[in-house]
Every structure is written in structure tokens, then in C-alpha cells.
Amino acid sequence: MSKMIMPMPLSHVQQSHLQRSKGSQTPEANVGKTERWVSVLGGGALSLYGLSRGSLGGLAMAVLGGGLVYRGVTGHCTCYQALGIDTAQSHGERFRIPAGQGIKVEERVTIHCSPEELYGYWRNLANLPRFMQHLELVQPTDDKHSHWVTKGPLGSRFEWDAEIITERENELIGWRSLAGSGVDTAGSVHFRRIPGEDATEVRVILKYDPPMGKAGEAVAWLLGESPGRQIHEDLHQFKRLMETEASPVATGQFR
């Protein structure tokens, strides 16, 4: 009498492969929950912003935003798939929106110049775009007030007015954006002579609420626009500028 051979139950992995082999049309999720949420929120905001511009560049932004929304809704990223990355299965996701309101950044650098030289150059606010790569223009309107224009993600531009709210000659400059400005920001730069050395520690503290709020913050992160990295690079550009062009820079005449 022949024995009946019972089929072995399929494992979870085998079932998954079988479902895919049957032509499932749903792409397999490979993006973590936080990234999906950021993609949907950021992509939606980017699409709305792009459409509101009514230009070819705005349309490109809207298309990119739509791609981010699709990435978030489906949880699937073709780029991740090609690279063999799967953050949906990871225990700790890499991105967290900072707690609290806005973003705070603090960076410092040592520059081999006197506090007087550094303060004098920075205090002429029109000099700032020469070493801050995302600034297009800072136009002083009087001794305390100025108009700022900066470049944002995907070629966007933001403008606001600011005022100097605290100042100690050769030591500190503090500023903030005026009420009603398109960007809510405040910051300070500190110049501290290093004892026993012909050098100064320059420390920058910057706080801002991203344009478009948390959605703008998410879009900036997705596009690689890290505020901490920007300030770090800007300060080191300031260091190179001041240490290699000490004489003209000290007078604020360097171009």
C-alpha cells in the first residue's frame, strides 16, 4: 500500500516569494515609517509650493514633490531597491524631526586673526554672502536693520528683514528677523580671544523655523540641505578668507 505524501507547509519567506511570483502589482515596501511620513508631508508641501509659482521650475518642483508623495504612500523607493537598502526592516530609523519649535545650530571655529579684525568684517553685513554660500544678498538699510535674500532647496529664494538686537564691540553681534518676515530666525556670533595665542574662537548660534514649517524642514533634509553642515562649511570658508586675505579683509574692502 503506497504512502500518501503530505505537502510541507510553506515558510513565511516562501509564501512571500510565491506571492511575488504570481505577479503582485503592489511594490514591496523598503522605506521606514518615519521616512514615509516625511516623504508624504514634504512632497505634498513641495508640490503645492511648486504649483503656486506658475513657472517651469515650479512645475519641476511639483513633479518631484509628487514622486516623494508616491514614495511615502507606497513605502517603496526604486533607488533603495537598486542599492539593496531596506529601512522598512531596520530597528532604528535614521531621521527624526527635532523636538520643539524650529531648528537650533551651534558651530565654532578657531581663526588666526584678532577679534577686532573678525568683528569688523562681520559687522559689515554686506560681507556675509562672500563666505556664506546660501546667502545671495544682505543689504544694510541703516546701522541696525538689513534686508536678507537666501537660496533654498531646488533653486527657491526667501527674503526677510532683520535687526541687530544686541552688540558688544569686538565680542558679540546678535540679530533676529522682524515680525511678519517670511523667515523666522535669530542668531548670534561670538568672538573670544584665545589666551596666549594670536587667534580667536568664533562661535555661531543660529535658530530658525523653516519656511513651510516642518514640511520645509523635511524637504530640506530629503534634498541634503543640512543647516549644521552649512554653518560648519561657512565658518571654515570664513576662516580661509580671513587668514589668507588678512589685510584687505580687515578693512572690509576685499572683493
What is the distance between the alpha carbons of residues 186 and 178, in angstroms, rounded to a whole number? 10
In a domain, 113, yes or no: yes
147 and 200 part of one domain:
yes
Same domain for 165 and 48: no
Boundary (domain end) residue, out of 89, 111, 128: 89
Residues 154 and 183 in one domain: yes
Rounded distance between C-alpha atoms, residue 42 and residue 154, angstroms: 13
β-pair partners for 177? 162
| pLDDT 10s digits, 175-191 | 999 987 767 889 999 99
Q: Is residue 189 located within the same domain as residue 212?
A: yes
Residue 125 has a pLDDT of 96
> Is 85 part of a structural domain of the chain?
yes
CB of 233 closer than 8 Å to CB of 216: no
Give pLDDT < 50 ranges for the chain: 1-8, 10-14, 16-24, 83, 90-100, 247-255
Q: Are residues 187 and 209 in the same domain?
A: yes
**Are 137 and 240 found together in one domain?**
yes
In a domain, 60, yes or no: yes
Of 97, 98, 76, 96, whose CA–CA distance to 87 is shortest?
76
Q: Indicate whether 6 belongs to any domain.
A: no
Q: Which residue pairs from 142-151 have beta carbons closer than 8 angstroms and sit at least 24 positions apart in sequence? A: 145/178, 148/177, 148/183, 150/183
Same domain, 223 and 121: yes
Read off the DSSP letter of residue 4.
P
- CATH code of 164's domain: 3.30.530.20
Q: Give the residue from 89, 115, 134 where a domain finishes.
A: 89
Helices 227-244, 115-123: crossing angle, 10 deg rounding = 120
Q: Which residues, at least 6 apart from 61, have a Cβ–Cβ distance to it below 8 Å?
A: 46, 47, 49, 50, 53, 154, 156
Residue 71 shares a structural domain with residue 115: no
Same domain, yes or no, for 78 and 201? no
Q: Give yes or no for a contact between 85 and 38, defined as CB atoms under 8 angstroms apart.
A: no
Closest C-alpha to 188, from 111, 246, 129, 104: 104
Q: Is residue 20 part of a domain?
A: no
pLDDT confidence of residue 154: 63
Does a structural domain hold residue 7? no
Name the domain count of the chain.
2
In a domain, 13, yes or no: no
Domain that residue 72 falls in: 28-89
- Which among 89, 116, 136 is the end of a domain? 89
In a shared domain, residues 150 and 68:
no
* 69 lies in the same domain as 151: no
Strand partners, 106: 205
Q: Are residues 168 and 133 in the same domain?
A: yes
**Is residue 220 included in any domain, yes or no?**
yes
What are the start-end ranges of the H helices in the chain?
12-21, 33-53, 56-74, 78-83, 115-123, 213-222, 227-244, 246-250
